């Protein structure tokens, strides 16, 4: 059971865990009032059921009156069953004889009832002035059983002993069967701990200090390793980027020099696509370094949202063409302006479109649309693809997060596109969320951004039933796999795919 801390209400005691069983040595009624009233007040205010077993001059009526002064709505709490004040004769010796097992079972049953009725647990106190010398050993045996039984319950218990009737031997007995004792010394309440409890606390302090030391060392080692990793990724990304430009130039030169439809030309096309794929992976590496080092920066300015979406569409067009997707853009009739870094924001929408193409089977549908809702620009990217399992919606934006291979195409990627998108959107003061009804049900990503200036005026969404269809050009020749070569990108369809935009 979790050791939830409870306010004891007694300054000298402080917070105590559920299962605490401690005692107080008092001299007179004033001592009892000084501790028990704040003890039960704290329990009532913490939504604990309270059971007070009274005796002597501090009877049930007086206890009720004293608590009423501290808890003004006491009568309501009593009527609701939160507090019960019971005389000793009704609890410990209802039949003129003390039955230890029955009393212990009664405490346990009250704790169960308290939880069932919606209270946090049970707070109790019982006075022991009624215990006779002849029954002292039996009562100590009972206290020992209580000390063990209470540890697993949502219950705190304070047993009160009159110091005027206790011998030195009695005090030792009582302290040995409670976690600690509360006694007045030189006018102030002080704690008396059993030697075993004191040793346990000292050992706990030592172990905590040792653990904190080990955690600090491991944390320092981990931070050093993370810094080394980030520096290596940044270096690796820059080193890999350098050869890509000459490789792409050489490939383009070979393609132009080779006859059309020749094996050399087809090989050059494959090389070009793989260089593009590799360049994207290198960009991912550089972005990982920026993200982990907190260097994702934006330079916002007022920019047309349609212009940013156009840039993103151009970036994603090759991937959409390869998959023969039906692609639709829907924009507001009036211009929408946002205060954003156009390059970074286009990267966000480009990543979302690239993911949509990656996880949507050939011939599927993808659309990107912008609206104005509640004074904010809202961009939605929807697809009819693999969807996202519900249990991954909460982690899809974490670094290196990827869908299971059974749902994804084998196109690779480092799983950082959505993380970068989230960081960039949040740097613009916006939000991004993912929605999906599950595997094979498609997905939707929603980006919300503040409008710039007067662009927050109401905007009507302009759409045509069919729109204007614009084919995306496909290569003029088929793209078979060449013997001995592997191209991870599927060949583009000769038919291309439809690109639908609102009619002007």
More confident residue, 256 or 73: 73
Q: Is the separation of the CB atoms in 474 and 496 below 8 Å?
A: yes
Decide if pLDDT at 240 tops 90: no
Decide if pLDDT at 211 tops 70: yes
Residue 63 CA to its chain's centroid (Å): 45
Give pLDDT tens digits for 452-470.
864 444 333 333 333 333 3
Residue 164 CA to its chain's centroid (Å): 55
In this prediction, residue 100 carries a pLDDT of: 92
Give pLDDT tens digits for 66-75.
999 999 999 9
In this prediction, residue 259 carries a pLDDT of: 79
Burial pattern 403-434, b for ≥16 Cβ within 10 A else e, equals beeebbbebebbbbbbbbbbbbbeebebebeb
Give pLDDT tens digits for 103-120.
999 999 999 999 999 999
Least confident of 18-27, 93-102, 302-311: 93-102
504's CB contacts (< 8 A; 6+ apart) are 468
Decide if pLDDT at 472 tops 80: no
Decide if pLDDT at 36 tops 90: yes
Decide if pLDDT at 210 tops 90: no
Q: Is the separation of the CB atoms in 489 and 362 below 8 Å?
A: no
In this prediction, residue 138 carries a pLDDT of: 93
Q: Is the separation of the CB atoms in 320 and 327 below 8 Å?
A: yes
- The pLDDT-based confidence of 473 (bands split at 50, 70, 90) is very low
Mean pLDDT value of segment 337-345: 92
Domains of the chain: which residue ranges? 5-193, 203-291, 298-501
- The pLDDT-based confidence of 411 (bands split at 50, 70, 90) is low
Query: Within 13 A of 133's CA, how many CA atoms are on the CB side?
Result: 4
What is the model's pTM?
0.45
CATH architecture observed for domain 203-291:
Orthogonal Bundle (1.10)
Decide if pLDDT at 268 tops 70: yes
24's CB contacts (< 8 A; 6+ apart) are 31, 32, 35, 158, 159, 160, 161, 181, 182, 183
In this prediction, residue 413 carries a pLDDT of: 52
Decide if pLDDT at 302 tops 80: yes
Q: Is the separation of the CB atoms in 12 and 190 below 8 Å?
A: yes
Q: How far apart are CA 383 and CA 315, in angstroms?
A: 17
222 phi, psi to nearest 5 deg? -65, -45
Q: Is the separation of the CB atoms in 37 and 109 below 8 Å?
A: no
- The pLDDT-based confidence of 401 (bands split at 50, 70, 90) is low
In this prediction, residue 3 carries a pLDDT of: 56
Decide if pLDDT at 80 tops 60: yes
In this prediction, residue 393 carries a pLDDT of: 84
Mean pLDDT of the chain: 80
CATH architecture observed for domain 5-193:
3-Layer(aba) Sandwich (3.40)
Query: Within 13 A of 28's CA, how many CA atoms are on the CB side?
Result: 1
Give pLDDT tens digits for 159-183.
999 999 999 889 988 988 898 999 9
Dihedral Cα 144, 145, 150, 155, nearest 10 deg: -80
Strand partners, 86: 53
Decide if pLDDT at 9 tops 90: yes
Q: Which helix (H) or strand (E) holds 330?
A: strand 326-330
Q: Is the separation of the CB atoms in 158 and 146 below 8 Å?
A: no
- Per CATH, the number for 298-501 is 3.30.565.10
Phi-psi domain of 148 (left: phi exceeds 0; alpha: psi -120 through 50; beta: other): alpha
| Percent of the chain whose predicted confidence (pLDDT) is above 90 | 41
In this prediction, residue 503 carries a pLDDT of: 30
């Amino acid at each position: 059971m979790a050791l939830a801390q409870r306010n004891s209400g007694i300054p000298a005691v402080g917070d105590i865990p559920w299962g605490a069983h401690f005692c107080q040595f008092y001299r007179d009624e004033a001592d009892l009032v000084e501790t028990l009233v704040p003890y039960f007040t704290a329990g009532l205010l913490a939504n604990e059921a309270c059971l007070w077993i009274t005796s002597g001059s501090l009877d049930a009526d007086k206890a009720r009156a004293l608590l009423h002064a501290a808890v003004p709505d006491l009568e309501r709490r009593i009527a609701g069953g939160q507090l019960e004040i019971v005389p000793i004769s009704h609890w410990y010796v209802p039949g003129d004889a003390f039955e230890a097992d029955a009393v212990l079972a009664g405490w346990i049953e009250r704790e169960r009832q308290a939880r069932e009725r919606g209270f946090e647990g049970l707070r109790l106190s019982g006075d022991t002035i009624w215990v006779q010398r002849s029954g002292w050993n039996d009562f100590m045996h009972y206290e020992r059983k209580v000390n063990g039984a209470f540890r697993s319950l949502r219950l705190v218990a304070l047993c009160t002993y009159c110091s005027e009737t206790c011998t030195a031997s009695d005090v030792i007995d009582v302290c040995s069967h409670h976690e600690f004792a509360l006694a007045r010394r030189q006018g102030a309440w002080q704690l008396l701990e059993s030697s075993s409890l004191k040793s346990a606390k000292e050992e706990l302090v030592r172990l905590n200090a040792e653990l904190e030391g080990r955690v600090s060392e491991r944390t320092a080692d981990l931070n050093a390793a993370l810094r080394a990793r980030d520096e290596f990724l940044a270096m690796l990304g820059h080193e890999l980027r350098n050869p890509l430009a000459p490789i792409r130039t050489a490939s383009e030169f070979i393609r132009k020099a080779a006859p059309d439809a020749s094996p050399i030309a087809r090989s050059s096309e494959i090389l070009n696509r793989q260089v593009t794929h590799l360049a994207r992976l290198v960009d991912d590496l550089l972005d990982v370094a920026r993200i982990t080092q907190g260097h994702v920066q934006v330079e916002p300015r007022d920019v047309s949202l349609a212009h940013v979406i156009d840039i993103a569409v151009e970036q994603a067009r090759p991937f959409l063409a390869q998959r023969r997707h039906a692609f639709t853009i829907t924009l507001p009739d009036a211009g929408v302006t946002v205060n954003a870094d156009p390059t970074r924001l286009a990267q966000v929408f480009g990543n979302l479109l690239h993911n949509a193409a990656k996880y949507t089977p050939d011939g599927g549908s993808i659309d990107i649309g912008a609206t104005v809702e509640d004074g904010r620009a809202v961009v939605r990217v929807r697809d009819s693809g693999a969807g996202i399992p519900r249990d991954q919606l909460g982690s899809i934006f974490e670094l290196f997060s990827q869908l299971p291979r059974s749902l994804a195409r084998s196109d690779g990627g480092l799983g950082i596109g959505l993380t970068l998108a989230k960081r960039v959107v949040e740097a613009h003061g916006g939000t991004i969320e993912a929605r999906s009804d599950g595997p094979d049900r498609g997905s939707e990503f929603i980006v919300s951004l503040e409008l710039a200036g007067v662009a927050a005026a109401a905007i009507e969404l302009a759409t045509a039933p069919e729109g204007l269809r614009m084919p995306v050009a496909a290569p003029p020749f088929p793209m078979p796999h060449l013997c001995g070569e592997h191209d991870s990108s599927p060949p583009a369809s000769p038919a291309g795919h439809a690109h639908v935009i609102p009619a002007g």
